[in-house]
Each structure stands twice: as C-alpha cells, then as structure tokens.
C-alpha cells in the first residue's frame, strides 16, 4: 500500500489519473495548471517508484497508472485550523485605538 500525503501535488496528479484514462502529459499539465518542470519531477518520481509508466508515441506521451493500491493520508485542507496572522501594523493600530479610547476627554467614565 502506497501512502500519499493529502493536499500534495502527488495526490492531485494521482486523483486525476484514477479518474481519467487515457491522458497525455500535456493534458495533465493543463488540467493542473502547473509548470512543465514541476510535473516532470513528479512523473519521474512515480516512474522510479513503479506507480506509472509512460507510453511514448510519435505525437504525444500517455501516462498509464500501474498501481492502484494507494492510500491518501493526512488531514484534508478543509480540516486544518486557520492560523491567526495579525500584521504588526494591525496590532499597532489596535493598540492606538485602545489608548485613544482611554484618553478620550469626552468619555463620561473618566471625568
């Protein structure tokens, strides 16, 4: 059983290959919207691991999935908790508002 990390480029490639066959390298690259070098790197890794084979024809190269014993592990992108990213400018602006609120001469509480 091959374990593939969820949310990775490898997962995206394999899911397309599981759904659609036959597919060429150019069609796959178009569908993923990634650079040629990135896709070639992933394909080389899959070929060396024996997951896919390439059928080279005179006008195009087809990808054939050899193994279907894949397991996608890890959390999906939607299951991850969002990180709080507060920019320093925002933090300073919030502090200024608090200070201004405290030093407000028209505030009844502080008169």
Sheet strand arrangement including 23-24: 23-24, 61-65, 52-56
Strand partners, 65: 52
CA 33, 81, 92, 106 dihedral sign is positive
DSSP 29-66: HHHHT--HHHHHHHHHHHHHHTSEEEEE-SS-EEEEE-
Q: pLDDT tens digits for 1-50?
A: 888 888 889 999 999 999 988 899 999 999 999 999 999 999 999 999 99
Q: Residue 95 burial (CB < 10 Å; 0-12/13-18/19+)?
A: exposed
Taking the complete model, does pTM exceed 0.95, yes or no?
no
Query: Which CATH class for the 2-76 domain?
Result: mainly alpha
Prior bond to 29 cis, omega within 30?
no
Q: 97 φ, ψ to 5°?
A: -60, -40
| pLDDT score for 74 | 81
Reported as a pLDDT band with limits 50, 70 and 90, residue 84 is low
């Amino acid at each position: 059983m091959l374990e593939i990390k969820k949310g990775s480029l490898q997962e995206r490639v394999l899911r397309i290959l599981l759904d659609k066959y036959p597919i060429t390298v150019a069609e796959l690259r178009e569908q993923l919207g990634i650079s040629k070098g990135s896709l070639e790197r992933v394909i080389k890794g899959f070929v060396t691991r024996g997951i896919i084979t390439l059928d080279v024809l005179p006008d195009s190269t087809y990808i054939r999935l050899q193994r279907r014993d894949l397991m996608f592990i890890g959390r999906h992108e939607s299951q991850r908790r969002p990180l709080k990213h507060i920019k320093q400018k925002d933090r300073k602006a919030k502090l200024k508002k608090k200070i201004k609120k405290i030093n407000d001469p028209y505030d009844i509480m502080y008169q």
